[in-house]
Amino acid sequence: MLCGIDLGSRSVKLVLADEAGLQDKHVFETVQFYREYGTRKEAGLVIDFAALGFERVEAVVATGYGRNTIQIAGATVIPELKAHALGAVYQTGLTDFTLLDLGGQDSKVIKVKKGKMIDFETNDKCAASTGRYLENMAAVLGIDVAELSRYEADPVELNTTCAIFGESELIGRIVEGHSTAQLAAGVNYSIVRRIKPMLRALVGGTLVFTGGVAQGSGIRKMLERELGVPVVVPAFPQLNGAIGCVCHAQEKRR
């Protein structure tokens, strides 16, 4: 078995695959994963695959926010951009597209031509267009992220460009009497507005949308309206980086 691991800031994603394709997949809260399944040794973080129910793991490829700081023992490390591009090609079957990945603490836009990454832009300086921002806003509204991410109609205007001050602005809009649906749509649209400059530079043709944020339909529909291009969400958007790691492992075995 081959194991792909995406060490995200908010969650750790694992995928197992063999010659027949993907066989197993898991998502863990990051701290929980390290505490329950990892042991720090001289060679790095040793993962207890037996405790995870994974048998006969022959190769491990890792990527993600913690790929260099965590140093999983025995793992091959690849850049996030490469992992996500590989995962998107595998999941969609497309070879020419622009990839948007919204992670827990960063956002990435990758231009792919003939199955290869040719250009990219990233934003890891500000949390205002990430999953962490959505978590904070959902908490203010008293709903979960899954519910928040569904709303896209009649968004309330939110002008603050900072994730921290955005909470105060959202509370002010609540006091004004706007509905939860309008407020949630406003939160989603604020993300679309912030990432549009990154997308404008690279988008052309189909947009593939990945990351945990892509699991809700609200931002996807807004992107289609704003950009005028088809938006494809793969079957496992949150697992895309881990799937890309498995793809890399398979390439090396050929």
Per-residue confidence (pLDDT) for residue 245, from 0 to 100: 98
pLDDT given at position 231: 96
Residue 191 lies in a domain: no
Is residue 100 included in any domain, yes or no?
no
Number of folded domains that form the chain? 1
Domain containing 19 equals: 2-81+240-253
Residue at 22 is within a domain? yes
Q: What is the pLDDT of residue 161?
A: 64
Give domain status of residue 54, yes or no.
yes
For residue 50, give the CATH number of its domain.
Answer: 3.30.420.40
- pLDDT confidence of residue 69: 77
pLDDT mean values, one per 10 residues, the chain (254 residues): 92 92 92 92 89 89 84 92 98 97 87 96 70 89 92 92 80 96 96 89 90 90 94 97 97 82
If phi > 0 it is left, if psi is from -120 to 50 it is alpha, else beta; for residue 177 that is left
Kindly state whether residue 160 falls inside one of the protein's structural domains.
Answer: no
The pLDDT, as a whole number, for residue 66 is 79
Which tokens hold the place of 146?
Answer: 């899954």
